[in-house]
Amino acid sequence: MISWKRFGSVLVGLFLSAVFLLLAFRNVDLKGVAEVFSKASFGSTAFLTILMVFEIFVRAIRWWILLGKKVSVGTLFQLEMIGLGLNNVLPLRLGEIGRAYLLAKMTGTSTFYTLSTVGVERVLDSITVLFLFGVCSRGMAGSFVPLVYQRLSVVLLGALGVLLLGLIYRGEWLGKVLQKSGSSRVFSLGQKFQHLLSGASVLRSPVVLAGVLLLSLGVWLLDGTVYFWAGKAVGLENILSYSRTLVMLAFVAAAGILPAVPGYFGTYEFMIREVLSRWGVPPAVGVGYAGFVHITAYVVVTGLGMIFLYRAGYSLSGIWGAAQESKTEK
C-alpha cells in the first residue's frame, strides 16, 4: 500500500506535469504541431527506432561489465527495456527498482547489490552529460548558455568525479568506520553502505573504468544522434546541429529530475520548446519536434518493455508491489 508521503509525491508530479504541459502548449497552433509530425517519413521513424533500441543495447553492455559479466547481455538488454518501460507506466520512477528487483530474482543475488549497480549507472550518466554539456556549450557562452551554467557544470562534474573515485577506492574504508560507531543505527548504515559499494567494486581496474566511461560516452552520443536524426526528419537540420543537440539533451536530462507523471510528459515538452526557442524555432515546431521524439520513444520502449516483462512471467501489479517493498527496505 502506498504511503501518504509517496502519495504526495505522485500528486506533486501530476500537478507539475499539468503546469508544464499548459506552458508548453501556450500560444501553440496545433495545426503547426501536426504539420511537424507529417514531415516525418516511415523510413526516418524506423531508423529512429533502431537508434533508440541500439542505445539501450549499449546500456546493457555497460551494465554487463558493472555486474562482472555474470549475466548475459541479452538478459540485461531486456531488463533495461523493462526498467525504462516501467518508468513510463508506473509513478515514482519505480522502473530502476523494478529492474534491479527482477535481476536479483533471476540471479539469486541481493537486491541491494543490483540496486548499487543501477546507482553507479546514474553517476556515470550524470558525469557524461555534464562533460558533453561543458564541451559543446563552450562556443555558446553568453549568447545561449549563461556562463554560470557552464561553471556550475564544471563544479558538479568535479564533485561527481570525486564521489565516483571515492566510492571505488575509499568507500570500503568509510563503511568500516561507520560500522565501528557505537550507534546501532550508524552501524546498520555502515553495513548497507558497504553492501552498496559492491556495485562499484569492478571499477577498481583502470582498464574496466576506462571502458565503462567510454561506453557511457557512447550511450549519450547515441542518444544525441537520436535527437539529431529526429531534427533532420522534421526539417530542423539547419538549426539543430549535433553540438546544439547535445546541449539540448543536457537540459532535457536536467528536466527529468523534476517530479512528473510516468513518461515525463509536460516537463519534457516544455524544456525542448524553451531550448529550441532560443535558436529561433517557433513554439509549434518546437512542441511538434518534442512530441515526435517523445511519442516514438514512449511507444517503442514501453511496448518492448511490457512484452519482455510479461514474457518473463511478471505483471505490472506484481512489480508495483515488489518495487514498493524494495523501496521500503532500501
% of the chain beyond a pLDDT of 70: 87
Q: Decide if pLDDT at 308 tops 90.
A: yes
5-19, 79-93, 226-240, 299-313: range with lowest mean pLDDT: 5-19
pLDDT value at position 36? 97
DSSP string covering 139-197, please?
Answer: GGBTTTB-HHHHHHHHHHHHHHHHHHHHHHHTHHHHHHHHHTSS-HHHHHHHHHHHHHH
Count of structural domains within the chain: 1
pLDDT tens, residue by residue, 276-296? 999 999 999 999 999 999 999
Q: How confident is the model at residue 184 (pLDDT cuts 50, 70, 90)?
A: low
Calpha distance 95→20 (Å, rounded): 23
pLDDT value at position 173? 63
20-29, 74-83, 124-133, 318-327: range with lowest mean pLDDT: 318-327
pLDDT value at position 103? 95
pLDDT value at position 27? 93
Q: Cβ–Cβ contacts within 10 Å for residue 107, how many?
A: 14
**With contact defined as beta carbons under 8 Å apart, do 251 and 269 qualify?**
no
Q: Decide if pLDDT at 187 tops 70.
A: no
pLDDT tens, residue by residue, 7-35? 788 889 899 999 999 999 999 999 999 99
Report helix, strand or coil for 62.
Answer: helix
283 vs 138 pLDDT, higher one: 283
pLDDT value at position 127? 96
pLDDT value at position 192? 61
Q: Which residues pair with 141 in a beta bridge?
A: 145
222-231, 243-252, 318-327: range with lowest mean pLDDT: 318-327
Q: Which residues pair with 145 in a beta bridge?
A: 141
Boundaries of domain holding 307: 4-329
Q: Decide if pLDDT at 329 tops 60.
A: no
pLDDT tens, residue by residue, 216-235? 999 999 999 999 999 999 99
pLDDT value at position 222? 98
**With contact defined as beta carbons under 8 Å apart, do 94 and 85 qualify?**
no
pLDDT value at position 113? 86
Q: What is the mean pLDDT of the chain?
A: 89
pLDDT value at position 324? 60
